[in-house]
C-alpha cells in the first residue's frame, strides 16, 4: 500500500488534477491518497498548517505551489525536510536553486510551462481566473505535462510497493522534455503541441511585469489581457493537435489497471494491454 500525501499551497494549473492522476477512475488498489490544501493563499501561516498532513504518515509527499522559493513554500519544506517529498512548481528555474533543493533531499519537477496568471484586480475576476486555468489545463493535459507527472509519481509509488529506497525525480520540465511524454504519433500534431507549450512558457514572461512591475491601469490590463489571449491560443493549438490524433485513430492512452500497473492503447476500439 503506497500512501501519498499531497500539499497544495496556492494554485497552479496542474494543482487542479495533481492528486487525481494516480487513480483516474478511483478503482486502483494498493494506493491511498490524502490532500491538504490552503486554497489560493500560500503564506507562512498556511505553510505551518500543513503539518497536520504529516501526522498521516505518508510514504512520500508531493508539495505543489507557485514559486517554490517564496516564503510560504520555503517554510513548508522545513516541515517536510525529514521525509521523502517532491516539490512541483513553476520555479525556481536557476540551476543553483534546483541543486539546493536536491542537496536538501527534495525531489522536484519544475514546470516552466505552467503559466503565471494575470493576477491583478484591475483585470482578473473569478470567471477570468477559471477560464485561464481551463485553458492552461488543456495544454498541460494534451501536451505531455500530466503524463510526465503521472509517470514520475508512478515510479516512486512502485518503489514503495517493492520496498526499495526511494529515488525522487529531479526534472526541469521545459517544452522539449514535456512534448516527448505526450505520445503524439503524427508529427504535425506533435509540432502543434510543442508550439502550445512554448506559448504557455511565454505567458509567464508576459504576465510577470503586469503583476509585479506595471502601475498604470492601461499597461496592466492590456498586458495581462495579452497574456491571457496567448494562453487561449495555446489551448486552441492543443485542441487541434489532439483532433489530428483522433482523426488518425492514434490517440495514445495510458490508463492504470486495477492493480496499479500501466496499460496502453492507441486505437479507440482496442482493449488496453499491459
Contacts 24+ apart (CB under 8 A), 205-208: 206/230, 207/115, 207/116, 207/117, 207/118, 207/119, 208/116
Residue 266: pLDDT above 90?
yes
The arithmetic mean of pLDDT across residues 98-112, rounded, is 96
Residue 254 contacts residue 183 (beta carbons within 8 Å)? yes
- Would you kindly state where each structural domain of the chain is located, as residue ranges? 1-111+144-181, 117-143+185-255
- Report the C-alpha gap between 178 and 124 in whole angstroms: 29
Buried b (16+ CB within 10 A) or exposed e, 18-43: bbebbbeeeebeebebeebbbeeebe
Section 119-126 average pLDDT:
97
Looking at residue 64, its pLDDT comes to 98
Look-up of cell digits 505551518: 48
Q: What's the confidence (pLDDT) of residue 107? A: 98
End-to-end CA distance of the chain: 21
Name the least confident of 31-35, 65-69, 92-96, 107-111.
92-96
Which CATH class, in words, describes the domain spanning 1-111+144-181?
A: alpha beta
What local confidence, expressed as pLDDT, does residue 94 receive? 86
Average pLDDT, the chain: 96
Task: Record the cell numbers describing residue 223, joined without a space.
Answer: 498586458
pLDDT, tens digit, 9 for 90 and up, residues 211-224: 999 999 999 999 99
Percentage of the residues of the chain whose pLDDT score is greater than 90: 97
Query: What integer is the mean pLDDT of 100-120?
Result: 96
pLDDT value for 164: 95
pLDDT band at residue 1 under the 50/70/90 scheme: confident
Tens-place pLDDT, residues 168-206: 999 999 999 999 999 999 999 999 999 999 999 999 999
Sign of the dihedral through C-alpha 187, 188, 189, 195: positive
Q: Can you read off the three cell numbers belonging to residue 164?
A: 526499495
The rounded distance, in Å, linking the Cα atoms of 179 and 15 is: 20
Strand 60-64 with 31-37, pairing: unpaired
Give the confidence band of 98 by pLDDT, cuts at 50, 70, 90. Answer: very high
75: pLDDT confidence band, cut at 50, 70 and 90?
Answer: very high
| pLDDT tens-digit map of 30-67 | 999 999 999 999 999 999 999 999 999 999 999 999 99
C-alpha cell at 140: 498541460
Q: What is the largest CA-CA distance in the chain?
A: 58
Amino acid at each position: 500500500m503506497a500512501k501519498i500525501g499531497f500539499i497544495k499551497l496556492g494554485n497552479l494549473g496542474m494543482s487542479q488534477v495533481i492528486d487525481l492522476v494516480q487513480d483516474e477512475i478511483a478503482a486502483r488498489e494498493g494506493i491511498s491518497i490524502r490532500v491538504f490544501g490552503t486554497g489560493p493563499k500560500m503564506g507562512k501561516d498556511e505553510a505551518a498548517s500543513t503539518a497536520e498532513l504529516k501526522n498521516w504518515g505518508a510514504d512520500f509527499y508531493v508539495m505543489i505551489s507557485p514559486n517554490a522559493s517564496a516564503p510560504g513554500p520555503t517554510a513548508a519544506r522545513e516541515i517536510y525536510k525529514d521525509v521523502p517529498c517532491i516539490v512541483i512548481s513553476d520555479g525556481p528555474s536557476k540551476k543553483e536553486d534546483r541543486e539546493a533543493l536536491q542537496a536538501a533531499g527534495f525531489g522536484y519537477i519544475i514546470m516552466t510551462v505552467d503559466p503565471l496568471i494575470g493576477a491583478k484586480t484591475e483585470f482578473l475576476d473569478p470567471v477570468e481566473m477559471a477560464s485561464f486555468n481551463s485553458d492552461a489545463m488543456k495544454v498541460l493535459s494534451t501536451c505531455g505535462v500530466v503524463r510526465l507527472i503521472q509517470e514520475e509519481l508512478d515510479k516512486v509509488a512502485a518503489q514503495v510497493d517493492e520496498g526499495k529506497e526511494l529515488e525522487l525525480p529531479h526534472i526541469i520540465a521545459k517544452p522539449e522534455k514535456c512534448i516527448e511524454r505526450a505520445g503524439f504519433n503524427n508529427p504535425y500534431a506533435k509540432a502543434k503541441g510543442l508550439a502550445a507549450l512554448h506559448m504557455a512558457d511565454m505567458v509567464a514572461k508576459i504576465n510577470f511585469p503586469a503583476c509585479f512591475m506595471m502601475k498604470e491601469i492601461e499597461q496592466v490590463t492590456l498586458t495581462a489581457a495579452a497574456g491571457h489571449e496567448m494562453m487561449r491560443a495555446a489551448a486552441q493549438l492543443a485542441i487541434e493537435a489532439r483532433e489530428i490524433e483522433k482523426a488518425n485513430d492514434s490517440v495514445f492512452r495510458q490508463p492504470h489497471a486495477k492493480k496499479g500497473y500501466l496499460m496502453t492503447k492507441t486505437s479507440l476500439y482496442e482493449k488496453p494491454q499491459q
